[in-house]
Structure 1
Amino acid sequence: MSILTRYLSFHILKNILSVLMLLTVVFSIFSVLAELEIVKGTDGIKLIPIFWLLEILLLGYTLIPFAVLIGSVLGLSSFVSTNQLLIMQISGFNARYRMNSIILVGITIFAISFVLGEFIVPVVKKFKAEIQLSIGETRDFTLTDKGFWARSHNIFFKVDTLQSNHTVIDVELYEFNNEMELLSILTADSGTHNGLAWVFEGVNVLTFKPEYSKKKYDSSFEKKLTIGPDIMEMIVHEQKDQSIFALLAYLNLAKITGQTSDDLYFNIFQKVGLWIDIFVLLVLSHFVVRASLGRFSSSKNIITAVCVGFGYFMIGKVLNQAGLVFSLPSVLVAFMPSMLLIIMIYIFKNRPN
């Protein structure tokens, strides 16, 4: 790899990381200010710095695509405005060297994104939820007003509320035979998982077959189920915040239990789409900034990049909603932003000088 390629790559990477840091700090301040409004007690105030750190990590991952485009355009614009890029082109810095630079920067940003998204964000997201409960937010992990449903073979598990400490509230357990005839209904006020089985409190069991009976348990009632709290949390927490490894593991389990969904496939495809977009956005930045144009304006290029970046996020949100409304294929919705960015590359590539 040539010295010029390394020099350009380092300059672009430095600008991308600078923009990412600036955007992350600014947006995290607004998140902390919003959280301060609901803080209760001195213990909650003490947790605010930790909350800020966690918010920085989460926002850093979310803002990577935006920072890639803005930072890359900013770096290339500074090269053009000082005639460095023009001199490099005269010295033989052709498209092949540019592609090498895109690959080098893209791999570096991909590595950062992969570490953040697959190892740090899933842990930070759960820790942040626990901190929010500690500083005063009265919310837990309820999926819908009708509760959370899961299935394990012929057992249907309904939970109204899933709390952060592997505790479930208001449980209903329906057990069927192979002919899907109802055998029993178990209701419980609460339950916790001890690592091996669920331990329920306030249990009532209504049995229909082989004999009808009704029994109330004053002591704890233990029952082993293949559905554990980790699987529940994977569904209740936003799946986009789970690692690709966790999503694939859940996909295997979902196939066994017959609970696969378009949302699960969408979140897997969306992660892959994000990694692809890193490279596509880098390519786009090189076509946004061109040294051969008769009139060059750094501010115009940066404004263009900001508009494209916001459009990227907005279109992604709109497509998510459109996919739900019109039942579009998950792979189409997940990769549509990438395809639109490729169209933008074609437009900028063929714009008149």
Structure 2
Amino acid sequence: MRLIRQYISSSVLKASAVVLLAVAALDLVTTVVDQADSMRGDYNFLAVLEYTLYLAPKKLVTAVPFAVLIGVLFGLGQLASTSELTVMRASGISVRRLGWYAMRGALAVIITGMLIAEYIASPLELIAEANRDLKRMPAERVALEASDNGFWGKEGSEFFRVGTVLPSGKLYGIVRFEFEDDRLQRISYSEEAIYIRDEWLLQQTHVTHIGETETTTEVVDEMKWRSEMSPRVMQIVAADEDNLSIRDLYYYANYLEDQSLDASAYKLAFWQKVLQPIASISLVFIAISFVFGPLRQVTMGFRIFTGIVAGIAFSTLQYILGPVSLVFGLPAILAVSIPIMICLVIGLYLLRRAK
């Protein structure tokens, strides 16, 4: 029994790993081609390759659900094609037990992907985005260009834009617009800023004072900037929700709620990441039910095609329900759970018919 368990689990694990690497490699090549159009300044081909390598863990994690779905269909499908599954069932091993053996192999990929996403992929992606922004444009333009790692903010009567936020918390290209009595009083541009003792220290700041009849300009080597936004908040705001870790999403959603601001987008991203392993398991469940149910006597090509269709349908449903939940104010956990529950119900129905 132990040999059979290891045999099935390793078959699924190997097939999933091959699919995972193939899909991730194709995605990385596509990224290199896409980034070639953005090369300028110090962002040359070597910088593009560096950026792409930083994104490799993210590409692997993104491909996990599809990889385990196809991996189970291929791994178990091979055993079904050679009648090995039939022999195992004839020897008294139940469908439930065989399915669990296959699930064990898929779980190894899913758990590894979850850990990579939380502790490796998210930090590396933030580094990649920040480095790309700094290399694509000169420092004096980084705050004014539409960089992927920058953002606009408002505190009190002041509007500001941060060009780039490094994972270390250092800021580049800070532009501030200060208003008093609904009139613009000062515009300042700082090359960089560091966080020291609960306040930002702006360096090499060019300040333009706007009077009623004239404007004056001065350069200040160091200037203090009191802001409620800590380095961690700056990093989170500058990044897309999809690039953040579960911990950062939870932290910032609570931060927004404490500020009486809408946190629905970050809650949706939080539940999508928390339930992603369960979503992958539900796809594995579908794959197992296909092999033991309606697809046990079809060709391998048809199994793979069916798996691709199932994966696309699942992803499309997730893609639709997410924005719908934001528009209609539905609980984020409900929007994320519906596709998972549908997969589990279909899989359970097909497995019961197979018995």
Decide: shared fold, TM above 0.5.
yes
Matched, 1:60 2:65: no
Contact 2:55 2:121 in 1 (8 A): no
Contact 1:193–1:228 under 8 Å retained in 2: no
- Name the aligned partner's letter for residue 222 of structure 1: K
Q: Deviations over 1:228-266 (max 9, x none)?
A: 233122023112221112222333433443335111211
Q: CA deviation at 1:60?
A: 1.0
Aligned to 1:261: 263
Q: Is the 8 A contact 1:157 1:173 kept in 2?
A: yes
Q: Is the 8 A contact 1:140 1:161 kept in 2?
A: no
1:295 & 1:225 partners in 2: Cα distance?
65
1:51 equivalent in structure 2: 51
Matched, 1:234 2:225: no
Distance 1:72 1:91 in 2: 22
- Deviations along 1:184-220, one digit per CA (max 9) or x if unpaired, are 98753336432212234244789xxxxxxxx987524
Partner of 1:211: none
Any unmatched runs of 5+ in structure 2?
138-144, 211-215
Tell me the CA shift for residue 64 of structure 1: 0.8
Q: Which residue of 2 aligns with 1:178?
A: none
**Hey, what does 2:288 align to over in structure 1?**
286
Contact 1:174 1:185 (C-alpha < 8 Å) held by counterparts: yes
How do 1:73-112 and structure 2 match up within 5 A?
73-112=73-112
Does structure 2 conserve the Cα–Cα contact (< 8 Å) formed by 1:142 and 1:160? no
Paired position in structure 1 for 2:160? 159
Aligned twin of 1:118: 118
Matching of residue 140 in structure 1 with residue 151 in structure 2: no
1:193 aligned residue = 193
Tell me the SS of whatever aligns to 2:44.
helix
Are 1:140 and 1:164, in contact at CA under 8 Å, matched by a contact in 2? no
Q: Deviations over 1:101-140 (max 9, x none)?
A: 2552343123211222111111221222134336647641
Does residue 171 (structure 1) correspond to residue 176 (structure 2)? The answer is yes
Conservation of the 8 A alpha-carbon contact between 2:250 and 2:267: no
Residue 99 of structure 1, CA deviation:
4.8
Unaligned 5+ runs, structure 1: 176-180, 207-214
Render the CA deviation track for 1:81-100: whole Å, top value 9, x for unaligned: 01111111112221442353
| Partner AA of 1:113 in structure 2 | G
User: Sequence identity of aligned pairs in percent?
Assistant: 18
TM-score, normalised with respect to structure 2: 0.80
| 1:266/1:330 contact within 8 Å kept | yes
1:149 corresponds to 2:156: no
| Structure 2 Cα separation of the partners of residues 84 and 149 of structure 1 | 62
Q: Where does residue 212 of structure 1 map in the other structure?
A: none
Aligned to 1:273: 275
- CA distance change for structure 1 residues 297 and 351 in 2, over 3 Å: closer, same or farther? farther
Change in 2 beyond 3 A, CA 1:291/1:309: closer
Letter in 1 for 2:321: L
Code of the residue aligned with 1:282 in structure 2: it is V
How far residue 174 of structure 1 moved from its aligned partner, in angstroms, is 7.3
Deviations 1:35-92 (A, max 9, x none): 2233247861222332332233221111111111011111111010011111111122
Is the aligned partner of 1:296 residue 2:326? no
**Cα distance in 1, alignment partners of residues 102 and 262 from structure 2:** 37
2:19 touches 2:70 (CA, 8 Å); kept in 1?
yes
Segment of structure 1 superposing worse, 122-131 or 96-105 = 96-105
Distance 2:37 2:309 in 1: 32
Q: Contact between 1:102 and 1:283, CA under 8 Å: does it hold in 2?
A: no
* Deviation of 1:331 (Å): 1.7
| Equivalent residue number for residue 342 of structure 1 | 344
Where 1:38 maps in the other structure, the secondary structure is: coil
**TM norm structure 1:** 0.81
Deviation of the 1:158 alpha carbon: 3.1
Supply the distance in 2 between the matched residues of 1:231 and 1:248 (Cα, whole angstroms): 12
Residue identity in the other structure for 2:340: S
